[in-house]
């Protein structure tokens, strides 16, 4: 990957990147604690979000909220260029406490209504990525530009995805319904009268991730939200489905590079 520019500070990140010869080797799903706006410039690919496959065209915009698993899937090795912007769900709370600007992210089912066609964003995103001023000026620019983008998204109709197999939707929905319960891959497979290998294969096809990697990542994202809200670490672990605190502790440190905050 040729990373042309990346800025990440204060919870705000913008990235401009190119792959001259992309392929699916090593491509893994992302599950963020921040929102993402993904802007597709060129390539031949589809985007997978929680079991739904979206076709990408020039100027496609994909939006993903915190905890929403997403993954690129290349259809050929054509040059792949994109921008990605990440920011907290609370970014506009100081002037939009009802989060109306964030409704395209929040007011929809998981993995649905993620795709928009919105030409004309490249100049704004380039300005964000290549801004050379100080952090204060960058934050002001980021908020004003992104608020305008969110307003445009709110005024546009989302694009229809490719039809997702009903069974794939059922797998993903059931796992999310059971996310914080005491579950195993074996029990999940039994629910659908599948072997563990069959269930794991179908789930990976639907989400791009193995069942347990998906479950653990989502649990950790939720745990981080609870800890940042002041919840105690041990209670957070239990609420998020970790029955063994040491397992939670190690997984949290591995993902976020820091100890879970709060009283244990």
Could you report the per-residue pLDDT of 149-189, keeping only the tens digit for each?
999 999 988 887 655 556 777 889 899 999 999 999 999 99
- State which H helix or E strand residue 212 sits in: helix 211-228
CA separation for the pair 31, 13 (Å, rounded): 15
3 versus 219: which is more confidently predicted? 219
Q: For the chain, how many helices (H) and strands (E)? A: 9, 9
* pLDDT tens digits, one per residue of 195-241: 999 999 999 888 888 999 999 999 999 999 999 899 999 999 999 99
Fold of 166-256: Arc Repressor Mutant, subunit A (1.10.10)
pTM of the model: 0.86
Q: What is the CATH number of domain 2-155?
A: 2.60.120.10
Question: What does the CA dihedral 90, 93, 98, 100 come to, rounded to 10 degrees?
Answer: -70
52-55 β-sheet, strand order: 52-55, 45-49, 70-74
How many residues does this entry show for the chain?
264
Angle between helices 245-256 and 211-228 (to 10 degrees): 90
- State which H helix or E strand residue 202 sits in: helix 196-207
Widest CA span of the chain, in angstroms? 58
Identify the band that residue 263 occupies on the pLDDT scale cut at 50, 70 and 90. very low
For the record, the structure tokens of 54 come out as 């979206």
What are the residue ranges spanned by the domains of the chain?
A: 2-155, 166-256
158 versus 64: which is more confidently predicted? 64
């Amino acid at each position: 990957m040729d990373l042309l520019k990346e800025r990440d500070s204060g919870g705000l990140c913008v990235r401009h990147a190119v792959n001259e010869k992309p392929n699916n080797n090593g491509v893994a799903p992302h599950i963020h604690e921040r929102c993402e706006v993904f802007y597709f410039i060129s390539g031949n690919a589809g985007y997978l979000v929680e079991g739904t496959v979206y076709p990408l065209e020039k100027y496609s915009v994909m939006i993903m909220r915190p905890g929403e698993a997403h993954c690129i899937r290349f259809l050929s090795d054509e040059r792949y260029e994109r921008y990605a912007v990440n920011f907290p769900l609370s970014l506009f709370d100081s002037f939009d406490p009802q989060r109306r600007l964030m409704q395209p992210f929040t007011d929809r089912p998981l993995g649905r209504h993620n795709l928009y066609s919105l030409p004309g964003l490249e100049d704004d995103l380039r300005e964000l990525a290549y801004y050379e001023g100080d952090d204060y000026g960058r934050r002001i620019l980021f908020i004003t530009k992104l608020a305008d983008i969110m307003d445009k998204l709110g005024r546009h109709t989302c694009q229809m995805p490719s039809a997702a197999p009903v069974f794939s939707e059922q797998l993903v929905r059931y796992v999310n319904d059971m996310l914080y319960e005491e579950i195993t891959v074996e029990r999940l497979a039994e629910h659908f009268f599948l072997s563990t290998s069959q269930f794991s294969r179908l789930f990976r096809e639907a989400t791009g991730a193995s069942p347990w990697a998906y479950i653990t990542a989502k649990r950790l994202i939720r745990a981080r939200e609870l800890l940042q809200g002041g919840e105690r670490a041990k209670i957070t672990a239990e609420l998020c489905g970790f029955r063994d605190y040491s397992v939670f502790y190690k997984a949290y440190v591995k993902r976020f590079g820091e100890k879970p905050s709060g009283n244990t």
